Structure 1
Amino acid sequence: MSYETLLYEVSDYVLTITLNRPDRLNAFTGTMMNELIDAFDKADADDDVRAIIVTGAGRAFCAGADLSEGTKTFDFAARADRPDKQGTPQRPDGGIDYSHESVRDGGGRVSLRIYECLKPVIAAINGAAVGVGATMLLPMDIRIASSDARFGFVFNRRGITPEACSSWFLPRAVGISQALEWTYSGRVFPAQEALEGRLVKQVVAPDALMDTARALAREIADNSAPVSVALTRQMMWRMLGADHPMEAHKVDSRSIYARGRMQDVKEGISSFLEKRPPVFTEKVSQDMPDFVPWWEPRPYK
Structure 2
Amino acid sequence: MDRILHFEQDEHGVVILTMNHGDTRNALTGNRLVDAFLAAFQRIEADPSVRVAIITGAGKVFSSGGSIHEMERQLGPDYDSAALRHEYKHGIQRLPLAMHKLEVPTIAAINGPAIGAGFDLACMCDIRIASERAIFAESFVKLGIIPGDGGAWFLPRLIGMSRAAEMTFTGDAIDTQQALEWGLLSKVVAPEQLIEESCKMARRIAANPPEAVRMSKRLLREGQHSRLDTLLEMSAAFQAIAHKTADHEQAVDAFIQQRAIKKTTH
Q: TM-score, normalised by structure 1?
A: 0.79
2:52 touches 2:104 (CA, 8 Å); kept in 1? yes
> Could you say if the C-alpha distance between residues 49 and 3 of structure 1 is closer, same or farther in structure 2, counting changes exceeding 3 Å?
farther
Runs of 4+ aligned structure 1 residues displaced above 6 Å come to none
Does the residue aligned with 2:49 lie in a helix, a strand or coil? coil
> How do 1:43-82 and structure 2 match up within 5 A?
43-69=44-70, 71-73=72-74, 75=75, 78=78
1:111 touches 1:164 (CA, 8 Å); kept in 2? yes
Counterpart position of 2:89: 104
Counterpart position of 2:244: 261
User: C-alpha separation between the residues in 2 aligned to 1:195 and 1:185?
Assistant: 19
Counterpart position of 1:239: 223
Q: Does 1:227 align with 2:226?
A: no
List alignment gaps of at least 5 residues for structure 2: 259-266
Q: Does 1:184 align with 2:169?
A: yes
> Could you say if the C-alpha distance between residues 250 and 194 of structure 1 is closer, same or farther in structure 2, counting changes exceeding 3 Å?
same
Percent identity of equivalent pairs: 30
Selected match of 1:130 from 115, 140, 148: 115
Does the residue aligned with 1:15 lie in a helix, a strand or coil? strand
Does the residue aligned with 1:209 lie in a helix, a strand or coil? helix
Q: Does 1:19 align with 2:19?
A: yes
List alignment gaps of at least 5 residues for structure 1: 80-87, 90-95, 276-301
Q: CA deviation at 1:14?
A: 0.5
> How do 1:162-241 and structure 2 match up within 5 A?
162-222=147-207, 224-241=208-225
Q: Which moved more, 1:266-275 or 1:203-212?
A: 266-275
Q: CA deviation at 1:170?
A: 0.7
Selected match of 2:138 from 142, 148, 153: 153
Q: How many residues align?
A: 256
Q: CA deviation at 1:102?
A: 3.6
2:2 touches 2:20 (CA, 8 Å); kept in 1? no
Q: TM-score, normalised by structure 2?
A: 0.89
Q: CA deviation at 1:104?
A: 1.1
Aligned AA (1:252) = S
> Could you say if the C-alpha distance between residues 104 and 205 of structure 1 is closer, same or farther in structure 2, counting changes exceeding 3 Å?
same
Deviations 1:266-300 (A, max 9, x none): 1222233445xxxxxxxxxxxxxxxxxxxxxxxxx
> Could you say if the C-alpha distance between residues 133 and 103 of structure 1 is closer, same or farther in structure 2, counting changes exceeding 3 Å?
closer
User: C-alpha separation between the residues in 1 aligned to 2:3 and 2:194?
Assistant: 25
Q: Which has the higher helix share?
A: 2
1:22 touches 1:59 (CA, 8 Å); kept in 2? no
RMSD across aligned positions (CA)? 2.2
Counterpart position of 1:5: 4
> Could you say if the C-alpha distance between residues 134 and 78 of structure 1 is closer, same or farther in structure 2, counting changes exceeding 3 Å?
farther
Q: CA deviation at 1:7?
A: 0.3
User: C-alpha separation between the residues in 1 aligned to 2:152 and 2:20?
Assistant: 27
1:7 touches 1:19 (CA, 8 Å); kept in 2? yes
1:105 touches 1:164 (CA, 8 Å); kept in 2? no
